[in-house]
Structure 1
Amino acid sequence: MAERGKYNNSVRGSDADVEYSCTPCADEGNDEKALKYCPECKEYLCAACMKYHLKFSATKKNTLQDNEFQRSERDSIDTTSNEDKMFKCLHHPDRNIEMYCGDHDMIYCSLCVAKNHRQCSGILEVEEATAKILIDKQDDILRQIDTLQAEIQATRQKKEVNLIALDQDKNDILKTIEDTELLIIDKVKALATDVKAITCFRYDGLKKDIQHEDSILLCAITDTDEVRKKIETQAHLDAKGQFLRYILHKHTFSKIKDMHCSVEKDEKKMKCFKNNEFIQQVSTAEWLLRVVESNSSGPTTEEPMYKKSHREISVKGNRDENTCSILGICQLNDGTFLIADRDNKSLKRLNKDFSIIGEHNLGTSRPISMCSVGKSEVAVKLENHTVLFVSIDDTFIEKTVIYYY
Structure 2
Amino acid sequence: MATKGSSIYKGSDLIHDFCCSKCKQNDLNTEAHNFCPECGHYLCEKCVGLHNGYHNSHNVFGRGDIEQWLVSSIDRCDQHGKELEVHCDDHQEPCCSICVAVNHRLCNSISHIPDIAKGFQTKTEFKQLPAAVDKMRSSLDELKKSRTKDQAEFQKWYKNIVAEIKFLRKEIDSILDQIEKATIEQLDNTIGDLENDVRDDVKKCVNMNDQLKRLMENFNQMIGKCKETKSYIVYRKCTAKLNQTDYLISEIQRKPKEEIHFEFDKTIVSSLKSLKTFGFTGMNYSKQDKYCTYQVLSSKQYNVKMNKDEETCTITGICGLPSGHIVISDGRWNGSIKLLNSQFEVIDHCDLSAPNDVCSIAANEVAVAVCNSTKKDEVQIIKVAQGRFQKKRKFTTAYSCFSIAHHQDKLYVSSKTALYQYTMDGEIVKKIHEDNSGKLTVLRCAVSPDGEIIYVSNFDENKLISLDRCGRVLSSFTDPELRKVFGLCVSPCGLVFVSGCGSVIQVDSEGTKKLATLARKVDGMNTPISLCLVENTSTLVVGGKKEDDIVVLQLGKMCENENII
Give the structure-2-normalised TM-score: 0.23
Point out the structure with the larger strand share. Answer: 2
- The structure showing larger relative contact order (alpha-carbon pairs under 8 Å, at least 6 residues apart) is 2
Higher-Rg member (1/2): 1
Point out the structure with the larger helix share. Answer: 1
